[in-house]
Chains A and B, each alone.
Chain A
Amino acid sequence: MKGRLVRGLLIVPFAVFFLVPLLAMLDFSTRDGDGRSGRAWAALVENEQLREAIISSLLLALFTVVLMVVLLVPTMIWVRLRVPRASRMIEFLCLLPLAIPPLVIVVGISGVYAWVSYFLGNSALTLTFAYVVLVLPYAYRAVDSSLASVDAVTLSEAARSLGAGWVTVILRVVLPNIWTGVLAAAFISAALVLGEYVFASLLNFDTLPVVVALLGKSDAAVSVAASLAALMFAFVLLLLLSFAGRSRHAERT
């Protein structure tokens, strides 16, 4: 077919534009003088500063996902079941971080973080609190689309009439039905946290992107290797997510 051929030809420049920088990263991070070496890649585990940054970024992703799920999911289910008139307000609040740039929040958050570090110490993991706000719009959309596809009210009425308490309704009746949405929210949140730079750099915490930017001044090859590794890791996360979301898409169409 002629249309398919045209489309195939048009997609080539896009593929070149998007793949050349990624392939250049691979080339850049493996060259060593005139030959090749895995020195820059070995530094990902051997360089102590980088290793610690990777660990704290992974821990941050984990903590953010846990706190996000604990805070957001029960609230959203509760709104759907008991306080439907608040649903517009909750939606507005959840999407608000899209309209307020992270950079603005950072400028204003120093007072709040003075208290946070007073109570919890000066650890990079305290970034969790700010990151939950940051991932809120994306997590909200994922959970909301999956919550919209089940009749939570009927499910909860059935469970209540059989004598279930509200905790049981939320944890054992509604939650298992929106599992794919919660999983999607967790994946996208983890990916966002692993790449987050604004808060970490301006609040002076050494997470992966901060250390990558720092090392770039002295050893660009290591930074490029770490960047490529991070991009690939996020790609795998999102690719897995596209498979997890399959049942949801099937229902919609």
Chain B
Amino acid sequence: MADRGEGGAGRLARLAPTLGLAPFLAYLTIFLLIPTIAVAIGAFQEQGRFSLTNIEALVNPAPLRRLWSSVVLSGTTAVLGATLGALLTWLVVSASPRSVLRRTVTSMAGVLAQFGGVFLAFAFIATLGFSGVVTEMFRSLVGVDIFGSGWLFGLPGLILVYTYFQIPLMVIVFLPALEGLRPQWREAAVSLGATRWQYFWQVAVPLLRPAFLGSMLLLFANAFAAYATAAALVTQGSPILPLMIRAGLTSEVLLGRQNFAFALALEMIVVVVIVMTLYALLLRRTSRWLR
């Protein structure tokens, strides 16, 4: 970073402003970089020595099954969230940014998407749990027990609750792209004789495709890394990867390997980094015409 080839005093004067960044960089080193590096190193260690046992253990059937469940959960909710979220975004984008509808929807989306998975878990326990409001309503009115054998506390329940925060996240990230579609483009298309349908398929969809796919990737990463909702909802067993990391952290020894949680965390980071890199690439394509 430093400029070279000047005299000592000149270089010092040039470097001085960079020193102003030192507190910030030191802080991030301690609380972000060191923990991340500790995970990467810990994954290749066992009892203080270099070892590949934990990495090799990742391909055992149990962790592979959890990884697959996590991918299914993230993939399903990313597709559902992106599709329904894009529809909802389209519904609210026509309202003025200062209108009550827009303010309410965006604030609500912020709360549901980014705030407190634990609280959302309890929202669904109150709705569809054993004595949930909707469950009891079905029991007394229709005579059907929709609680069943507790699907809410397994993978199907996670898909439902995750969709509940994925749709709002889609609204947040997709709104700028949809707002960036300029009315002039529509007018230009219409003045050239395009129908509403042609404008949609031949102008709007190709323009929005990178943003849409990028948002879907972001949703995937978001669900893949989410922990709180699943942890509060699923108290027994660990059907998905994040909960297996919990089991590895809270029980002293998992599968007889102390550092297995590190290997699982490394696996998680690899998946998320790949997905987020693709997201960044797609975002760059969108930003060409956005703003």
Contacts and interface: CB of A to CB of B under 8 A. Distances in A.
A79 interface: yes
B57 interface: no
Given A21-B164, A108-B36, A209 B119 contact: yes
Interface stretch (B128-136, B185-193, B203-211): B128-136
Interface residues of A, number: 80
Given A103-B245, A202-B249, A227-B122, A18 B20 contact: no
B119 A107 contact: no
Given A101-B269, A104-B36, A238-B110, A82 B27 contact: no
B18 A86 contact: yes
A14 B108 CA distance: 12
B227 A100 contact: no
Nearest to A246: B98
Given A71-B24, A197-B227, A242 B127 contact: no
Interface stretch (A155-163, A172-180, A215-223): A215-223
A34 to B, nearest CB: 12
A96 B125 contact: no
Contacts of B30: 112
Contacts of A202: 246, 249-250
Given A197-B231, A213-B118, A242-B103, A101 B272 contact: yes
B87 interface: yes
Interface in A190-216: 191-192, 194-198, 201-202, 209, 212-213, 216
Contacts of A217: 235
The secondary structure that dominates the A interface is: helix
Interface stretch (A42-50, A117-125, A229-237): A229-237
A209 B228 contact: yes
Nearest to A242: B103
The secondary structure that dominates the B interface is: helix
A191 B110 contact: yes
B133 A28 contact: yes
Contacts of B87: 10
Contacts of B23: 71, 75
Interface in A104-155: 104-109, 111-112, 129-130, 132-133, 138
Contacts of B224: 101
B51 interface: no
B39 to A, nearest CB: 4
Contact of B134 (A24, A72, A105, A238): A24
B39 A197 contact: no
A231 B121 CA distance: 12
Nearest to A101: B225
Interface stretch (B58-66, B138-146, B260-268): B260-268
Interface of A: 7, 10-11, 14, 17-18, 20-25, 27-29, 71-72, 74-75, 78-79, 82-83, 85-86, 89-90, 93, 96-109, 111-112, 129-130, 132-133, 138, 188, 191-192, 194-198, 201-202, 209, 212-213, 216-217, 220, 223-224, 227-228, 230-231, 234-235, 238-239, 241-243, 246, 249
Given A194-B115, A202-B246, 18 more contacts: A11-B91, A18-B112, A21-B120, A27-B133, A28-B133, A78-B20, A83-B18, A99-B272, A99-B273, A104-B269, A108-B34, A112-B30, A192-B114, A195-B114, A223-B125, A224-B122, A230-B119, A246-B98
Interface of B: 1, 17-18, 20-21, 23-25, 27-28, 30-32, 34-39, 42, 84, 87-88, 91-92, 94, 97-98, 103-104, 106-108, 110-112, 114-127, 129, 131-134, 164, 167, 221, 224-225, 227-228, 231-232, 235, 242, 245-246, 249-250, 261-262, 265-266, 268-269, 272-273, 276
